Amino acid sequence: MAGSTWGTILTMTTWGESHGKGLGVTVDGCPAGLLLCEEDVQKYLDRRKPGQSRFTTARKEGDQVEILSGVFEGRTTGTPVSMIVRNTDQRSHDYSAIMDVYRPGHADYTFDEKYGFRDYRGGGRSSGRETIGRVAAGAVAAKLLAELGVTVTAYARSIGPVTVSEERFDLAQASENRLCMPDAEASAEAERYLDQMMAANDSAGGVVECVVRGLPAGVGEPVFEKLDARLAHAVMSIGAVKGVEIGDGFAAAAGTGSRNNDSFRGAGGSEIRNGIHKATNHAGGILGGISDGDTIVLRAAFKPTPSIAQPQQTVNRSGEDVEISIKGRHDPIIVPRAVVVVEAMCAFTIADMMLLNMSSKLENVKRIYLR
Amino acid sequence: MAGSTWGTILTMTTWGESHGKGLGVTVDGCPAGLLLCEEDVQKYLDRRKPGQSRFTTARKEGDQVEILSGVFEGRTTGTPVSMIVRNTDQRSHDYSAIMDVYRPGHADYTFDEKYGFRDYRGGGRSSGRETIGRVAAGAVAAKLLAELGVTVTAYARSIGPVTVSEERFDLAQASENRLCMPDAEASAEAERYLDQMMAANDSAGGVVECVVRGLPAGVGEPVFEKLDARLAHAVMSIGAVKGVEIGDGFAAAAGTGSRNNDSFRGAGGSEIRNGIHKATNHAGGILGGISDGDTIVLRAAFKPTPSIAQPQQTVNRSGEDVEISIKGRHDPIIVPRAVVVVEAMCAFTIADMMLLNMSSKLENVKRIYLR
Amino acid sequence: MAGSTWGTILTMTTWGESHGKGLGVTVDGCPAGLLLCEEDVQKYLDRRKPGQSRFTTARKEGDQVEILSGVFEGRTTGTPVSMIVRNTDQRSHDYSAIMDVYRPGHADYTFDEKYGFRDYRGGGRSSGRETIGRVAAGAVAAKLLAELGVTVTAYARSIGPVTVSEERFDLAQASENRLCMPDAEASAEAERYLDQMMAANDSAGGVVECVVRGLPAGVGEPVFEKLDARLAHAVMSIGAVKGVEIGDGFAAAAGTGSRNNDSFRGAGGSEIRNGIHKATNHAGGILGGISDGDTIVLRAAFKPTPSIAQPQQTVNRSGEDVEISIKGRHDPIIVPRAVVVVEAMCAFTIADMMLLNMSSKLENVKRIYLR
Amino acid sequence: MAGSTWGTILTMTTWGESHGKGLGVTVDGCPAGLLLCEEDVQKYLDRRKPGQSRFTTARKEGDQVEILSGVFEGRTTGTPVSMIVRNTDQRSHDYSAIMDVYRPGHADYTFDEKYGFRDYRGGGRSSGRETIGRVAAGAVAAKLLAELGVTVTAYARSIGPVTVSEERFDLAQASENRLCMPDAEASAEAERYLDQMMAANDSAGGVVECVVRGLPAGVGEPVFEKLDARLAHAVMSIGAVKGVEIGDGFAAAAGTGSRNNDSFRGAGGSEIRNGIHKATNHAGGILGGISDGDTIVLRAAFKPTPSIAQPQQTVNRSGEDVEISIKGRHDPIIVPRAVVVVEAMCAFTIADMMLLNMSSKLENVKRIYLR
């Protein structure tokens, strides 16, 4: 099936492979009149670009975006916004070591089973470079959300066993350190942990947290298109994500109703509308699949990078046991570069759900058509 | 938006409220020729029926299903299978206590914000009774999967702080105890915990685990319609679910690549195809969003039942502080009755993805059309 | 595939067979707050009911609708509106004459080829009774459109060779004569033609015209979801429709640009917005797939009823030549009863497209979210 | 809404404007293993290229396609096939004459109403160049259909008042004359007619006919996704199409059942399966929305080119009456270049519906999964 399109009213359709000619995305359904330029998108792409620290691959890619359509005189026209990033680092590589071998933790085996063969160059479509289209589209969505007073911010909550401390939490830090952790101390500790991993030819995983502020109550469609269900889908569709939780998430499952319920209050706590407040936010801003006006809180678990330099047991296409050592430099952790991808997927999904929600009440439909 | 339809080729569209005339579902896209009768569906519905133990609501509902269309001479015809369950326990209740008050942890507030008003009788569309349609549809999907050699089984993995022990794990137990736990000892302990909760007018949450066996490799669509992304969407759309994970899930985020990668082997471990085995299954049967032939393992975190009898602080529609005590008997834990809902959503999603995958290879398209 | 759902934001999912337990529809995505009762729907269903004249089947069906969900205290709640019509005329018929024989002009053969077998009772899912769900859903859409100042009206433009005269055109007539023709003289002539057809055990076709008034400019999505493309899809999906045209349609293909172009004018002709007028309406109210503010004009060609009493050559399931005479009374013309079906499909499609269009401009999105 | 994606399993998402950087399409869901190269696509694009005769615009565009993704070692990989055509004729034009004026018969007015402003350069997204993406995608679909024994062929059936004669019909002619008419005599007459139109600064319309051969019975989904409904949608979505009909179409509406019904026969007429034949094909190969194994016959009515050089009355954005004379050379007829667009849309739609139909029977699902 066509699995490369996301969204209902605001959609993105991505394409491209790691070592093909390039990667791109077509964003359709963006409301007309939004100020948009390449720089808006480039800022987001730069955050996922390789080569930013000793913890990311040394692949040389400028990842310069070109907007091909849908923008006229600096504003979106309502027609599809097509964006492309050309691959530049297409040196002829020697893929003989992996073309017939199934790398553990990668999708080599499953692509072969599904399609009969695969583009084995650098992971093809299952490469992390596939997220370029997501991030470019997310940048457009973030621009739209900003017009509506909504901000989406993600950061690393934990790296391997190192978790951000609630006490030291400082969001400003996240944009200042290379690991995107909102806690300078934890970040330094995580760097030491990653150095150990690299020395051991091993890799680490981590947890990305994303918060959405300014989202009004009422967004999300009951039953199957709940806001949390859509966000879970969006975020779980990012390669290497193995778990998603909202608010207290798995911790809520071990708690009690009296503690987990968030009291509504006439005053105190965070205001969610016209003087109504919530005393706490265990729900992570979503009740019954619909935003409650409070901050949306989501966490995504990323598995450790599967590409490690130490020898691993595996099989080739004929099912014979072979040993593989994955050469070249690979990110020992993908979390810092994945932060912007989570942000992009959440922003895009929230924006789409906001557009979907516009017709929830007859009163709103009349507001548009009867003037 | 229309949020009551799930699936792409095999779809279910559900409808109904807690205290309306009934609830139902239309399953469309089911392949023709599947043996199906009301008893097949009733078996599943009986597993979610209230009144089965002291831990479930005493509401009297037979929840008898009637198949209205799409089956002829005992087989599905390929046209929509419409099913209905009439509500019988529609005594006139006194809703004055909740019609203007927002119950903490419920969707009362968000429905009012989204739609301007709500059906306040027993939660209306956001009631747990909404799952009747899901379970009926899941029963059809399970019947279809059985024809293809695929089984889907869910059970309670933890209730409150009590978790099933790996050593004592015995799947047969899950269908024998009231809490659906595959560990008799844990089940007994959980019962004691729930008795405490009830005595304290409090409630508990828990984790449901679901395993899918017999699924061939290749199912799931890369990028946005990954098998795990769809499953996460499906399961997170169940009311009260706050987290979903696949395989090692959140635990993987704290681990290392060398441990988390599953080695492929020519022999040993579990066979996934033609002599290829996997030594471990940290991935939970999904690589790159595509099934790898191994067992799919998914867990869902359910929050504690929000309806508790102890007094809670909240506000009314005017934003004034009020105290609420939710009367009537409510399940102190929804996990045992939610087990079949998770199973239903997973079965339905897997079946849809199997149908979607049929055209992945030109060779398969030719197998259908060129004979 | 699931082919029983129509619409994107406002959707209908229909189910049911001619001689099964009943037929129904679930309307999802209807904005909350719309006044709706069974009588609103019944009025539309009564217009397609059998037994209204000597030109329609004598089947006894009350076709009483029951609303099962989605309406509370007289208003739609925003959740799915499920409606059911029970079949009452389920006398045990003798189907032996048709169960193994392919009736010419019917879908017997194609259902068998597609699904391997079919519900042969009265056409099963391919029966004209399938339109009950469409009409019930269309009634909801018409109610919604009325709130927005939009009316949808269909009538018979021609029956067999008899066409309504432009000069005598009188819309009021259409609701007064049994053939729904807006021309009393043509209607009388058409009745005589149909009497001839019945005497000859033959049948007739005709053309239904539908006009939409009050639709503002801007509705319809460029490229694939053009308003005319969606309407063509919606109307062509009605059984027996073999052609659809907008505005001058096929006649335009033989004309010239200078005649076919509609001049915009500062005054004169019909006003489409703020003083802008169109001198003519060859376009039928749609330019570039988007409504232009003028009346939408659509025509649908219905083939003659395929069920005729005279003997016909055909084959049985084994491919052997047999002769068939279709017994029982059948409508010699379906056009009068199809008028409300065309109206329903157009109303539903227009309503969905209006909801889709709400987010076309950033300005409109802000109007909803920034107050 | 996002209206730039077409298809369910096999999808195309198009983008681009007349005078932007280029145009393109992403084809997703194409089965893996299909031989595909740029030449396959270029052949189709060349058929719609401008500058091929005195009846087409003199715009200089090479319209060279580049495949950016989804093909590896000469075969489709199952991942999105992205294709781009760069605009080369981007000389700075003087648009002052049209930027504030609404050209009659064009979408200038409706785009402005919908989006608040528009890309006024050469029609922007509503230009005929928008079809480049459709044709490129259709070329991929045609390649897929060829593997399944299905061919799709379109030609001009009439140009202005000149219609192909049934007696002289010669399909080979269609690829030999500039007007794509399968009748040399009619073609010569049509050329004379067009010369008159050009002399008068006027334009002509016409009818394109498309036939699909080799399609097995069973393709098309009952109710809303009927094969004819989807084809009508696909073809009506092409700019300038004002009507679509299947088989006898509008002519059937004036006929009788005894004449319009196609007899099935054990022998004689055209064989549709295993010895079953149809004596005639008034149905145009579709019964009940499902292919019957006979040739699919579809016709599309194209309105005359709205761009004409003679002075026309219209208004500017302020609603003031102005006169416009559209400068530059424009096709006096778009039918010859539209032939390949109709072919592309039909091929794509048929291919998608074939993939959708694969799971209609349990037996077919088992054929893929149980081996």
D268: number of Cβ within 10 Å:
12
Tell if the CB–CB gap between D369 and B222 is shorter than 8 Å. no
| pLDDT higher than threshold 90 for residue C89 | no
Question: Rounded CA gap, A133 and D338, in Å?
Answer: 33
Tell if the CB–CB gap between B15 and C72 is shorter than 8 Å. no
Instruction: List CB contacts of C148: < 8 A, sequence separation 6 or more.
Output: A365, A366, A369, A370, C214, C354
Write down the pLDDT at residue A20: 93
Residues in chain A: 371
Instruction: List CB contacts of C339: < 8 A, sequence separation 6 or more.
Output: C47, C154, C155, C156, C174, C180, C208
Query: Is D33 an interface residue toward A (CB < 8 Å)?
Result: yes
Q: In this structure, which CATH number among 3.60.150.10, 3.30.470.10, 3.40.50.1820, 3.30.420.40 belongs to the domain D8-247+283-369?
A: 3.60.150.10
* Ranges of chain D with pLDDT below 70: 1, 51, 56-60, 89-93, 329
Write down the pLDDT at residue C200: 96
Residues of C in contact with A149 (CB under 8 A): 369-370
Q: Return the structure tokens found at D28.
A: 């997703």
Tell if the CB–CB gap between A5 and D13 is shorter than 8 Å. yes
Question: Rounded CA gap, C114 and C117, in Å?
Answer: 8
Query: Is C318 an interface residue toward D (CB < 8 Å)?
Result: no
Q: Give the range among A270-274, B170-174, B190-194, D327-331 with minimum mean pLDDT.
A: D327-331
Residues of D in contact with A114 (CB under 8 A): 32, 78
Query: Mutate which of D12, D79, D132 to disrupt the A interface (most A C-beta within 10 Å)?
Result: D79
Task: Give the number of C-alpha atoms closer than 13 A to the C-alpha of residue D54, restricted to the C-beta side.
Answer: 8
Give the confidence band of A331 by pLDDT, cuts at 50, 70, 90: confident
β-bridge pairing B22-28 and B11-16: antiparallel
Neighbours of A (≥3 Cβ pairs closer than 8 A)? B, C, D
pLDDT tens for each residue of A243-255: 999 999 999 999 9
Residue of B nearest to D369 (CA): B148
Residues of D in contact with A11 (CB under 8 A): 2, 5
Residue D315: which of C9, C205, C265 has the nearest Cβ?
C265
Give the confidence band of C92 by pLDDT, cuts at 50, 70, 90: low
Question: Rounded CA gap, C64 and C83, in Å?
Answer: 10
Q: What pairs with residue B163 in β-bridges?
A: B158
Tell me which range, A63-72, A167-176, B46-55, is most confidently predicted by mean pLDDT. A63-72
Q: Return the structure tokens found at A38.
A: 């390449």
C133 closest CA partner among D222, D229, D287: D222
pLDDT tens for each residue of A84-133: 999 986 666 677 777 899 999 999 999 999 999 999 888 889 999 999 99
Tell if the CB–CB gap between B207 and A250 is shorter than 8 Å. yes
Residue C15: which of B2, B68, B116 has the nearest Cβ?
B68
Residue of B nearest to C78 (CA): B115
Tell if the CB–CB gap between A364 and C368 is shorter than 8 Å. yes
Query: What CA dihedral angle connects D352, D355, D359 and D363, to 10 degrees?
Result: 150
Query: Is B71 an interface residue toward D (CB < 8 Å)?
Result: no
> What is the DSSP secondary structure assignment for residue D94, as one 8-state letter?
-
pLDDT tens for each residue of A306-324: 999 999 999 999 999 999 9
Query: Is C260 an interface residue toward B (CB < 8 Å)?
Result: no
| pLDDT higher than threshold 90 for residue B307 | yes
Give the distance from CA D356 to its chain's centroid: 21
Cα radius of gyration (chain B): 22
Residues of A in contact with C366 (CB under 8 A): 147-148
The ranges assigned to domains in chain D are 8-247+283-369
Give the confidence band of B88 by pLDDT, cuts at 50, 70, 90: confident
Residues of D in contact with B364 (CB under 8 A): 31, 358, 368
Tell if the CB–CB gap between B78 and D29 is shorter than 8 Å. no
Query: Mutate which of B1, B25, B280 to disrupt the A interface (most A C-beta within 10 Å)?
Result: B1
Residue of D nearest to B355 (CA): D359
Write down the pLDDT at residue C95: 79
C233 closest CA partner among C85, C345, C84: C345
B to D CB pairs, distance under 8 Å: 92
Q: What pairs with residue A324 in β-bridges?
A: A312
The alpha-helical segments, DSSP class H, found in chain C are 38-48, 96-99, 108-115, 131-147, 171-174, 184-199, 227-236, 249-253, 257-260, 335-357, 362-369
DSSP count for chain B of H helices, then E strands: 11, 19
Tell if the CB–CB gap between C307 and D257 is shorter than 8 Å. yes
Question: Rounded CA gap, D32 and D65, in Å?
Answer: 21
Query: Is C37 an interface residue toward B (CB < 8 Å)?
Result: no
> What is the DSSP secondary structure assignment for residue C130, as one 8-state letter?
G
B145 closest CA partner among B99, B213, B94: B213
HEC sequence for B245-305: EECCHHHHHCCEHHHHCCCEECCCCEEEECCEEECCCCCCCEECCEECCCCEEEEEEECCC
The burial of D318, by beta-carbon neighbours within 10 Å (0-12 exposed, 13-18 middle, 19 or more buried), is given as exposed
Write down the pLDDT at residue C1: 67
Write down the pLDDT at residue A273: 84
Question: Rounded CA gap, C347 and A160, in Å?
Answer: 57
**Secondary structure of residue D49 in the 3-state scheme:** coil
Stretch C273-284: mean pLDDT, rounded? Answer: 92
| Cβ–Cβ < 8 Å for B291, B215 | yes
Q: Choose between D53 and C217: higher pLDDT.
A: C217
Stretch B37-49: mean pLDDT, rounded? Answer: 95
Instruction: List CB contacts of C73: < 8 A, sequence separation 6 or more.
Output: none
| pLDDT higher than threshold 70 for residue B92 | no
Write down the pLDDT at residue D99: 87
Residue D148: which of B79, B355, B366 has the nearest Cβ?
B366
Query: Mutate which of D8, D19, D23, D26 to disrupt the A interface (most A C-beta within 10 Å)?
Result: D26
**In one letter, which amino acid is B99?**
M
Question: Rounded CA gap, D219 and B141, in Å?
Answer: 23
> B44-56: buried (b, 16+ CB within 10 Å) or exposed (e) per residue?
bbebbbbeeeebb
**Secondary structure of residue B158 in the 3-state scheme:** strand
Q: Return the structure tokens found at D97.
A: 């004459």
Query: Is A176 an interface residue toward B (CB < 8 Å)?
Result: no
Residues of C in contact with D292 (CB under 8 A): 109-110, 113
The DSSP element (H or E) to which B140 belongs, if any, is helix B131-147
Residues of D in contact with C291 (CB under 8 A): 110
Stretch B334-362: mean pLDDT, rounded? Answer: 98
Query: What CA dihedral angle connects B267, B269, B270 and B275, to 10 degrees?
Result: -10
| Cβ–Cβ < 8 Å for C220, C357 | yes
Phi, psi of A66 (to 5 degrees): -125, 130
Residues of B in contact with A360 (CB under 8 A): 114-115
pLDDT tens for each residue of B312-334: 999 999 999 999 988 776 789 99
Residue of B nearest to C66 (CA): B21
Residue D229: which of C236, C253, C315 has the nearest Cβ?
C236
Query: Is B126 an interface residue toward A (CB < 8 Å)?
Result: yes
Residue of A nearest to B7 (CA): A224
Neighbours of C (≥3 Cβ pairs closer than 8 A)? A, B, D
Write down the pLDDT at residue D269: 78
| Cβ–Cβ < 8 Å for C306, C334 | no
The alpha-helical segments, DSSP class H, found in A175-283 are 184-199, 227-236, 249-254, 257-260
Query: Is B38 an interface residue toward C (CB < 8 Å)?
Result: no
Tell if the CB–CB gap between D22 and A77 is shorter than 8 Å. no
pLDDT tens for each residue of A1-58: 689 999 999 999 999 999 899 999 999 999 999 999 999 999 999 998 876 777 766 5
HEC sequence for A181-203: CCCHHHHHHHHHHHHHHHHCCCC
The alpha-helical segments, DSSP class H, found in chain A are 38-48, 96-99, 108-115, 131-147, 171-174, 184-199, 227-236, 249-254, 257-260, 335-357, 362-369
> What is the DSSP secondary structure assignment for residue A30, as one 8-state letter?
P
β-bridge pairing C5-6 and C11-16: antiparallel
The DSSP element (H or E) to which B98 belongs, if any, is helix B96-99
| Cβ–Cβ < 8 Å for C112, C319 | no
Using N-to-C axis directions, what is the helix angle for C362-369 and A131-147, rounded to 10°? 60
Question: Rounded CA gap, A244 and A157, in Å?
Answer: 13
Neighbours of D (≥3 Cβ pairs closer than 8 A)? A, B, C
The DSSP element (H or E) to which B136 belongs, if any, is helix B131-147
The DSSP element (H or E) to which B41 belongs, if any, is helix B38-48
pLDDT tens for each residue of B117-131: 999 888 899 999 999
Q: Choose between C58 and B33: higher pLDDT.
A: B33
Tell if the CB–CB gap between D207 and C250 is shorter than 8 Å. yes
Residue B15: which of C2, C33, C70 has the nearest Cβ?
C70
Complex ipTM, two decimals? Answer: 0.97
Stretch B80-101: mean pLDDT, rounded? Answer: 83
Q: Return the structure tokens found at D287.
A: 């019964």
Q: Choose between B202 and A175: higher pLDDT.
A: B202
* Distances from the Cα of D62 to the Cα of C216, D29, D37, D136, D162, angstroms: 40, 28, 18, 14, 31
Q: Considering chain B, what is the average pLDDT of its residues?
A: 94
Q: Choose between B227 and D89: higher pLDDT.
A: B227
| Cβ–Cβ < 8 Å for D113, C218 | yes
| Cβ–Cβ < 8 Å for B261, A105 | yes
Query: Is C105 an interface residue toward D (CB < 8 Å)?
Result: yes
Stretch A215-226: mean pLDDT, rounded? Answer: 97
Residue of D nearest to C227 (CA): D237
Q: Considering chain C, what is the average pLDDT of its residues?
A: 94
* Distances from the Cα of D249 to the Cα of A44, B78, B98, C162, angstroms: 53, 28, 59, 17
pTM for the predicted model, two decimal places? 0.97
| pLDDT higher than threshold 90 for residue A269 | no
Q: Choose between B326 and B199: higher pLDDT.
A: B199
Question: Rounded CA gap, A189 and A161, in Å?
Answer: 10
Query: Is D164 an interface residue toward B (CB < 8 Å)?
Result: no
Write down the pLDDT at residue C273: 84
The burial of A329, by beta-carbon neighbours within 10 Å (0-12 exposed, 13-18 middle, 19 or more buried), is given as middle
pLDDT tens for each residue of A167-201: 999 999 998 889 999 999 999 999 999 999 999 99
